A and B are shown apart, each in its own frame.
Chain A
């Protein structure tokens, strides 16, 4: 029961966060110099054209009135139409966000598959050759800029070896997974490096704990000890880190999306900032804010499940 009330409490806490993000986004984008009509029409715009378009978008009204219309629309689930693309924002988000989610999902799986076993090896072979090699390799991965890793992977595995396509996005699910593998790997490398370092330290901390010695003295098999006692306890801090990383990838995958020509939400976000496309930016921010909050919620729930003390 404490877990259930904890979940309800956390969901309720999300509401003011999302509302706050909504207000900040609405105000911040209007503080930026330039307006949608000027951004859309470019340098050749005449005053009359700009005024006409801004009026048709309701941008000639006071900001408070605009905010009222905005909230009223959101309450009905309508995020408005994109100013530059002239299509409903909901439709755009429905097209782009799943691409980013799939990319992040794949990156997270690859990162976990790399980080967990290697963290064990590094922790159990602490300060030995295997540990040094694993930590050194990840250090290089972590220090290299994402766009550089991306171009490197594209050149080697796509252009030269032709194992993967050079960027883009497929039509069918299998083709999409195939297209997204290299960008997911690019994101996963630095993701895994952070997780591996954290998990390795946590495992080293736990492995010498008294309850592990106790489990060992009970004669439990080492695999059972490692999974049930060491991993479960070591994962607690790593899970938080995992959640935070997923949260930052939701809005921060834009470089990878650009290098690999993946039509995800990150590129849509950047385009909408440059184009001062207020409805898209607002809609996308809300969607991403909710997703980030949900990620943190799931992280907290998993953490509470692993460590019941958290929920108390």
Chain B
């Protein structure tokens, strides 16, 4: 009996130790290395991922994305209800919520913020909340979002950065006369209701955030979130320096670890090499216009595009460029995007099939074409040189044109490019954004390729108003089937977000949309 009692005591002690090792600890400042600095900390008028991915730390939204990035959970609103006719959402605000300057968040602030985000011509993101017709308030806790038409993505839209709630009075009191001028002045000293607030910002170098004492979230220990006292974002553009700084302990975390270093950091004893699931897809865009530069364009032939897809050995490219970190695409949208369908890699490598398709298309002897590559980008250059060799085997002579991003965008938007490399990340946990750009021709002409499918266009329009989940999923299954079979892209791979964290960092999350969530992050003392 004594032995059993002793064993129980030892087990109890061990269990106690391991539990206490995992109990959250409060305080401390996390130093996080970023590859580039933010540009403009304002939810509605920003344009870039470097802003979007950190904005949710400063500006809270009515609803929040779930950790897998696919669903919604309570944010500033503790309850919400979509009307039976799908034409309005009634949201109930939490009790006692405040902005980071201590002023209460009123339903009027919420209504004003949402209407500003939905105002046509107010920034690049208005389409996300394009269905909002009006926002009204009832009493001191209720907000009613009225829709112009049914919108299956409206709840998800209320988690997106551009619906961040801002203090109307403080914004309107900011210097300037137009909305854009006021936004500039407001963004210098932003007031939001996210878990952190901006303390100082030395552009191009360091951004310091401190905890917002008025944040509504509660931690595991029953006290207010966040656990951290603050975050220092340090801008270190060079990958090697960022990793050196992490290894030396000057950083607690670093984003965008190059794929070539992932294995090495996985085996480092002091680090956790995290690969967070993402919605990022890498692909080649093919101009499908019948004529290009006054000549017949072989890429307009669906069989040629199919042949190029079969001749591109994606597994090899994944090994060469991502060192095995990536995985083949099973649809044009990432597998982390809601309503994604497909479980088999698209166009598995088959050189013989590619050759016979080229013959069928009348291009047995091949042709010459060009690919726009981002100058200095090692991943893109790696992909391009691999494709040059692979497509050479079906007679395609590929001219690699290295240009900077603005030059490439100019050719892309003008529709004068033959092919280009590209990557995409979703901003909303819904397939509608990527589909509106890749597939739906009235938006930007299916990635400026001139490709068009009337059936897919119609299905997309229907799906945008379809609130029956099953019917909408069927619409998307069909859209994906059409585009994946004959669309104007060569899908290459999906990649996760590679983030390296010191072992003392816990509870950090980067969701598939890219948002860096520090709300429940804590540090071992």
The minimal Cβ–Cβ distance linking B377 to chain A, given in whole angstroms, is 12
**Which residues of the other chain, A, contact B204 by a CB distance below 8 angstroms?**
95-96, 263, 267-268
Contact with B along A149-192 (1 / 0, CB 8 A): 00100110011001001111100000000000000000000000
With both beta carbons as reference points, the residue of chain B lying nearest to A165 in the complex is identified as B250
A263 touches B205 (CB 8 A): yes
A34 touches B406 (CB 8 A): yes
Across the interface, A34 reaches (CB within 8 A) one of B203, B244, B407, B444, namely: B407
A226-250 interface with B by 8 A CB criterion: none
The minimal Cβ–Cβ distance linking A102 to chain B, given in whole angstroms, is 13
Q: Which of A12-20, A38-46, A195-203 contacts B (4 or more CB under 8 A)?
A: A38-46
Across the interface, A39 reaches (CB within 8 A) one of B187, B247, B405, B443, namely: B405
A33 touches B244 (CB 8 A): no
The verdict on B237 contacting chain A, using a C-beta distance below 8 Å, is: yes
Given A44-B444, A159-B247, A267:B237 Cβ within 8 A: yes
The verdict on B291 contacting chain A, using a C-beta distance below 8 Å, is: no
The minimal Cβ–Cβ distance linking A78 to chain B, given in whole angstroms, is 15
Given A32-B407, A33-B410, A45:B124 Cβ within 8 A: yes
A157→B188 CA distance, assembly (Å)? 37
The verdict on A22 contacting chain B, using a C-beta distance below 8 Å, is: no
A56→B40 CA distance, assembly (Å)? 17
Q: Tally inter-chain residue pairs, CB-CB below 8 A.
A: 127
A169→B248 CA distance, assembly (Å)? 16
**Which residues of the other chain, B, contact A96 by a CB distance below 8 angstroms?**
204
Contact with B along A190-234 (1 / 0, CB 8 A): 000000000000000000000000000000000000000000000
B241 touches A34 (CB 8 A): no
**Which residues of the other chain, A, contact B188 by a CB distance below 8 angstroms?**
87
A274 touches B437 (CB 8 A): no
Contact with A along B250-279 (1 / 0, CB 8 A): 100000000000000000000000000000
A168→B234 CA distance, assembly (Å)? 8
The verdict on A258 contacting chain B, using a C-beta distance below 8 Å, is: yes
Across the interface, B413 reaches (CB within 8 A) one of A50, A95, A260, A274, namely: A50
A38 touches B409 (CB 8 A): yes
The verdict on A307 contacting chain B, using a C-beta distance below 8 Å, is: no
B410 touches A166 (CB 8 A): no
B410 touches A35 (CB 8 A): yes
The verdict on B412 contacting chain A, using a C-beta distance below 8 Å, is: yes
With both beta carbons as reference points, the residue of chain A lying nearest to B414 in the complex is identified as A33
B203 touches A261 (CB 8 A): no
B404 touches A274 (CB 8 A): yes
**Which residues of the other chain, A, contact B524 by a CB distance below 8 angstroms?**
none
The verdict on A259 contacting chain B, using a C-beta distance below 8 Å, is: yes
A49 touches B236 (CB 8 A): no
A101→B287 CA distance, assembly (Å)? 47
A86 touches B124 (CB 8 A): no
Interface size bracket, A side:
35 or more
B124 touches A167 (CB 8 A): no
B422 touches A43 (CB 8 A): yes
The verdict on A299 contacting chain B, using a C-beta distance below 8 Å, is: no
**Which residues of the other chain, A, contact B202 by a CB distance below 8 angstroms?**
95, 169, 263
B357-407 interface with A by 8 A CB criterion: 403-407
The minimal Cβ–Cβ distance linking A95 to chain B, given in whole angstroms, is 6
B444 touches A168 (CB 8 A): no
Given A33-B406, A274-B406, A261:B236 Cβ within 8 A: yes
A56→B443 CA distance, assembly (Å)? 23
Given A41-B47, A263-B203, A33:B411 Cβ within 8 A: yes
A40 touches B47 (CB 8 A): yes
A44 touches B241 (CB 8 A): no
A166→B203 CA distance, assembly (Å)? 19
With both beta carbons as reference points, the residue of chain B lying nearest to A260 in the complex is identified as B241
The verdict on B240 contacting chain A, using a C-beta distance below 8 Å, is: yes
**Which residues of the other chain, A, contact B412 by a CB distance below 8 angstroms?**
43
With both beta carbons as reference points, the residue of chain B lying nearest to A46 in the complex is identified as B444
A22-55 interface with B by 8 A CB criterion: 32-35, 38-50, 52
Interface size bracket, B side:
35 or more
Given A158-B244, A275-B406, A84:B413 Cβ within 8 A: no
B464-499 interface with A by 8 A CB criterion: none
With both beta carbons as reference points, the residue of chain B lying nearest to A270 in the complex is identified as B237
**Which residues of the other chain, A, contact B23 by a CB distance below 8 angstroms?**
none
B236 touches A84 (CB 8 A): no
B40 touches A32 (CB 8 A): no
Across the interface, A166 reaches (CB within 8 A) one of B48, B248, B406, namely: B248
**Which residues of the other chain, A, contact B180 by a CB distance below 8 angstroms?**
56
Across the interface, A169 reaches (CB within 8 A) one of B121, B184, B205, B241, namely: B205
B237 touches A261 (CB 8 A): yes
The minimal Cβ–Cβ distance linking A269 to chain B, given in whole angstroms, is 11
A92 touches B203 (CB 8 A): yes
Given A259-B238, A263-B235, A276:B248 Cβ within 8 A: no
Given A95-B203, A261-B241, A268-B204, A39:B39 Cβ within 8 A: no
With both beta carbons as reference points, the residue of chain B lying nearest to A81 in the complex is identified as B184
A38→B444 CA distance, assembly (Å)? 13
The minimal Cβ–Cβ distance linking A158 to chain B, given in whole angstroms, is 7
A71-91 interface with B by 8 A CB criterion: 81, 84-87
The verdict on B119 contacting chain A, using a C-beta distance below 8 Å, is: no
Given A38-B410, A159-B244, A166-B248, A258:B437 Cβ within 8 A: no
**Which residues of the other chain, A, contact B39 by a CB distance below 8 angstroms?**
84-86
The verdict on B94 contacting chain A, using a C-beta distance below 8 Å, is: no
The minimal Cβ–Cβ distance linking A253 to chain B, given in whole angstroms, is 14
A158→B443 CA distance, assembly (Å)? 51
B143-166 interface with A by 8 A CB criterion: none
B443 touches A38 (CB 8 A): no
**Which residues of the other chain, B, contact A155 by a CB distance below 8 angstroms?**
244
B413 touches A86 (CB 8 A): no
With both beta carbons as reference points, the residue of chain A lying nearest to B204 in the complex is identified as A263
The verdict on B70 contacting chain A, using a C-beta distance below 8 Å, is: no
A34 touches B236 (CB 8 A): no
**Which residues of the other chain, A, contact B184 by a CB distance below 8 angstroms?**
81, 86-87
**Which residues of the other chain, B, contact A40 by a CB distance below 8 angstroms?**
47-48
**Which residues of the other chain, B, contact A258 by a CB distance below 8 angstroms?**
237-238
The minimal Cβ–Cβ distance linking A134 to chain B, given in whole angstroms, is 30
**Which residues of the other chain, A, contact B238 by a CB distance below 8 angstroms?**
147, 167, 258-261
A46 touches B443 (CB 8 A): yes
**Which residues of the other chain, B, contact A56 by a CB distance below 8 angstroms?**
180
Q: List 20 A-B residue pairs with CB atoms under 8 Å apart, sorted by A's residue number.
A: A33-B411, A34-B405, A34-B409, A38-B406, A39-B406, A43-B422, A50-B413, A84-B40, A85-B39, A85-B40, A96-B204, A159-B248, A166-B241, A168-B234, A168-B236, A168-B245, A169-B202, A261-B237, A261-B245, A276-B406
Name B residues whose Cβ lies closer than 8 Å to a Cβ of A. Answer: 39-40, 47-48, 121, 124, 180, 184, 187-188, 202-206, 234-238, 240-241, 244-245, 247-248, 250, 403-407, 409-413, 422, 437, 443-444
Identify the 7 closest CB pairs spanning chains A and B, nearest first. A34-B406, A263-B204, A263-B205, A39-B406, A34-B410, A261-B236, A166-B245
Given A42-B48, A261-B234, 9 more contacts at CB 8 Å? A35-B410, A38-B413, A42-B405, A44-B437, A49-B124, A84-B40, A159-B244, A168-B245, A263-B235
